[in-house]
Amino acid sequence: MPLAAPESHPAHSGSSTRKALLQVALAWVALLLGMALYWALLHQSQLGQLANAEAQTRLRAAQAAHALALQTGTQFHKLDYLARHLGEHWLEPDSHGFAHAIAVARTALPDGALVQVAIADRDGQIVYSNLATEPPANGAPMRISIADREHFRAHLDGAPPRLFISQPVFGRISQQWTVQFSRPLHDSGDFCGVIVLSMSAHYLSAALRDIFPGSGDVAFVVRDDGAYLARSHLLAQVLGSAVPPSRPFVVDPAARSGFYEARASIDETERHYAWHRVADYPVVVSLGLDRERALGPVRSALQDGRQQSLIGSALLLLAAGAITWLWLVQVRQAAVLSTTSERLDLALRGGNLGTWDWDCVTNACRFNQRWADMLAYRDAPPPNLETWVRHVHPDDFPRVRALLQAHIDGAVDQYEAEYRMQRCDGSQIWVLDRGRAMQRRPDGSVLRMVGTLLDVSARVAETQLRRALLDQSAAAIAVVSRDRKVLEVNQRAREIFLRPGEDAAALDMRRLHLSDAHYGTMLQHYRSLYANGSVRFEYPLVDVHGSQRWFDLHAVLRDPDSPASEIVWTLVDISEKHHAEAALATERLRLTALIERFPGGVLMEDASGVVAMANQRLCELLDLPDTPETLVGLDHRAFSARLGGDSRSTWLQLSADGKGAEKRRSVEIRHSNGRELEIDWLTIERNGTALGHVWLLRDITERKQHEAHLATLAATDALTGLPNRRSFMAGLDAVIADSHHHRGRSSALLMLDIDHFKRVNDTYGHAIGDFVLQHVAQVIRHELRHHDSAGRLGGEEFAILLRGVDADGALALAERLRTTLAQTPAISNAGAIRVTTSIGLAMLDGDNAARLLRHADEALYEAKGQGRNRVCVWPL
């Protein structure tokens, strides 16, 4: 097609960028390797320079130590000569010659060097000292002994004559620190004493200090065993001490010289040490050069060299970085241009976009191949502006032209229109047309416009179908953005929430809520929606008329994989259901309040046997630890189990068919807590359908106790507390009836009458008579067995029923009772009243009660006839 614009091909910008980055990386690797090599060579060179400086330092120290050793040896030879010379003069008889020799010796040495010349005899007693103010006669002792000093003891036991050098000692005569140089004295080959030259330790050190005046370098003289003799500095702190035993000249006595490095504990200075032994004498001279001071200039020079190299390296890296950055900017700009071209081409291809380019001056238009394919162009004439006008649907053209003119006039930044176009094959498509003015004259008129054309027929068809489906739904449906802006609603939502003609996009969501606070509570549902992908709840909203309605709201994300997706809300109006539930809840509250105020317990189950309601009084009557709320929801079996098993919940059991064939039932039970309960059971029905059951529980304990009390009063003699005649006769009838079923079980009846009771009444009065009757009743109760029973038949007459005894046993019990009564007087206000009784006994033989009573009565009268206070047995 002649007017179709050529299509571009994607550039390989990605590979070009990677290649450029690889080149930069390689260049930087080469640069860094070169710099690393340079710094390695620099480091090696400086290490060599430092090692050479250290070697020179050691050499200088060794040379100085050797020179000092020679100088010290010369000095010691001089002292040895003086000691021999003075010793010879001492042995001569001319004492003036010895004194003159001492004077000559003192002039041969610097002032203060020779502190003392002393002579000790063979026993170590000082016989001469030039420090003595009044020297004794030749050979007389001075009462000072050096026999314990090493410089005397070294010459004993036939030791060869030689100069001995002692450790510094504090002189007993000189009161100074001195080094003792001693030689033995022999007269005709016999040991006769020792001559001692005491040399000032400070003099020996001063010579060293003159050579090394600074405190950094140090020289010292020690014996072979490490004991200090002299030190150029800090002498006072080392006198009387020794160097560490690890020093090489102490460890290896055969070595003549050597080196070592150490940090002196006395001043914490690290030094290079060189040492040398003094020829012919057991002495070592050592020289220590301050390591920092000796190597400081070299290290400073090396540090300056490293700093200069570092600055040069940094400048080189900065220059390389700047060059790299400029080059990468250029490469990146080229890549951006290439990428932009690729993206534009991909966008056009991937989006199936047709492109157009309109020259507004000549009205010439250029379209790409995709534009032509959308309109089904094959061998038709090349398209132009008039072609486009002809293909726009006539009904849409005025609107499209107005939108295009608005952009040309500058009213809008971009032209955009969605409209229908006729294809060459007669079919119709929907397109989205976008464009923008690329060139304008100074007066604002457009020179050139470019744009794209997209086939949106499928989307439009989908939208129309979705709209048709949404509008047929009975539920209100709304599509809302993440920031709670309404994007789309169906017809049902419009009817409920929008005024006629109102745009959904202009709807303020706050208008649908009861208040701003109510609007804010929706945030928690939105959080749940974003967390779970959906949410459902019931919520009140305000409709277009301002009325409150309840809705069942269901929300889902339109795109579950995108947190920024729109939200689709489905709203089902449940106002009627909610009102019904609210009314039901109100009635339930009323019923609950009524049940709570009911004087008895209430239990209600629904048709499925689940507890629907209970009150606190029920829990109290049944001694349940539960609250009514915890009972609600239990099924029939579970609630029965709460009562403690079948024995306590028999009243709760329904009829066998499980539906309660009976409509109403009442039972009375005794609960394990002792309460007497009356329980009414009712079936709740509606139109013949069972809806559940109700149990009404009332506490009738007091009523039962009152009834029992009345029964007891009716069956008990009020004076004695024993059963009255009617109650006793009822018990007798029961025993007689039981004897018919148990033939082997025998019983007996006693008739007891108080002897001369009328005399008691006449003598003491009726009150005392009543007291006597009570006394007799108390003794009877006390003497009877627990299964026997007694009763007052009237007046002073009593009856006693003995169970499970034969005739002999019954007679023995009767005699014991008579004897006890006779021996137990009634103690009253009138004094002790002796009571005797007459007793008639009749064995139970299956007769009726009247006959048995008559037999016992006959035996009683027989006892009275025989003189009273006795027991008679029937038959007589």
pLDDT in tens, 719-766: 998 999 999 998 898 888 887 776 767 899 999 999 999 999 999 999
Closest CA to 77 of 284, 278, 285: 278
Give residue-wise pLDDT tens across range 66-105.
888 888 888 888 888 888 888 888 888 776 778 778 878 7
Q: Determine the pLDDT at residue 654.
A: 58
Higher pLDDT, 403 or 104: 403
Q: Determine the pLDDT at residue 10.
A: 42
Closest CA to 771 of 820, 828, 816, 823: 828
Q: Determine the pLDDT at residue 4.
A: 41
String of b and e for 623-657 (b: at least 16 CB within 10 Å)? Answer: ebeeebeebeebebeebbebbeeeebbebbebeee
SS3 category, 122: coil
Map tokens 């050797």 to a residue: 66
Residue 286 has pLDDT above 80, yes or no: yes
Q: Determine the pLDDT at residue 683.
A: 85
Residue 855 banded pLDDT, cuts 50, 70, 90: very high
The encoded tokens of residue 683 equal 């079936």
Map tokens 């089904």 to a residue: 376
Query: Which of 358-362, 415-419, 710-714 reaches the highest mean pLDDT?
Result: 415-419
Q: Determine the pLDDT at residue 628.
A: 87
Give residue-wise pLDDT tens across range 693-702.
888 888 888 8
From the candidates 796, 815, 858, 862, give the one annotated as an active-site residue.
796
Percent of the chain with pLDDT over 90: 18
Per-position DSSP letters for 718-781, written without gaps between them = TTT-SB-HHHHHHHHHHHHHHHHH-TT--EEEEEEEETTHHHHHHHH-HHHHHHHHHHHHHHHH
Closest CA to 751 of 784, 789, 800, 716: 800
- Rounded to whole angstroms, the Cα distance separating 666 from 656 reads 17
Higher pLDDT, 394 or 215: 394
Task: Work out the angle at residue 363's Cα, subtended by the Cα atoms of residues 361 and 366, and round it to the nearest 5 degrees.
Answer: 120
SS3 category, 195: strand
Q: Mark whether 796 is an active-site residue.
A: yes
DSSP classification of residue 473: -
Q: Determine the pLDDT at residue 5.
A: 40
Higher pLDDT, 674 or 529: 529
Give residue-wise pLDDT tens across range 26-64.
888 888 898 888 888 888 887 887 778 777 777 888 888
Residue 807 banded pLDDT, cuts 50, 70, 90: very high
Cα dihedral 544, 545, 546, 548 sign:
negative
Higher pLDDT, 564 or 124: 124
Give residue-wise pLDDT tens across range 310-358.
888 888 888 888 888 888 888 777 767 666 656 556 555 555 788 888 8
Give CA 533 to chain center in angstroms: 31
- Rounded to whole angstroms, the Cα distance separating 333 from 351 reads 26
**What crossing angle do the helices spanning 701-715 and 725-741 adopt, rounded to 10°?**
90
What type of residue is 227?
A
Q: Determine the pLDDT at residue 663.
A: 65
The encoded tokens of residue 116 equal 């003392």
Find all residues with CB under 8 Å of 729, minimum gap 6, and list them.
849
Q: Determine the pLDDT at residue 822.
A: 94
Q: Determine the pLDDT at residue 862.
A: 95
Residue 359 has pLDDT above 60, yes or no: yes
SS3 category, 523: helix
Q: Determine the pLDDT at residue 149.
A: 85
- Rama region for 363: left / alpha / beta (φ>0; ψ in -120 to 50; rest): left
- The two beta strands, 689-699 and 831-833, are unpaired
The encoded tokens of residue 159 equal 């030791």
**Between the CA of residue 761 and those of 141, 764, 771, 827, 828, what are the distances in Å?**
151, 5, 10, 15, 13
Residue 660 banded pLDDT, cuts 50, 70, 90: very low
- Rounded to whole angstroms, the Cα distance separating 456 from 366 reads 22
Average pLDDT on 183-211 reads: 84
Q: Determine the pLDDT at residue 283.
A: 92
Residue 399 banded pLDDT, cuts 50, 70, 90: very high
- Average model confidence (pLDDT) for the chain? 83
Residue 846 banded pLDDT, cuts 50, 70, 90: low
Average pLDDT on 211-238 reads: 83
Model confidence, pTM:
0.35
**Of the listed ranges 73-82, 218-227, 260-269, 518-527, the one predicted with least confidence:** 260-269
Q: Determine the pLDDT at residue 647.
A: 52
Average pLDDT on 110-115 reads: 81
Residue 2 banded pLDDT, cuts 50, 70, 90: very low
Average pLDDT on 586-606 reads: 81
Residue 653 has pLDDT above 80, yes or no: no
Domains of the chain: 12-350 (3.30.450.20), 351-460 (3.30.450.20), 473-573 (3.30.450.20), 580-704 (3.30.450.20), 716-874 (3.30.70.270)
**Of the listed ranges 507-521, 775-789, 819-833, the one predicted with least confidence:** 507-521
Average pLDDT on 535-552 reads: 90
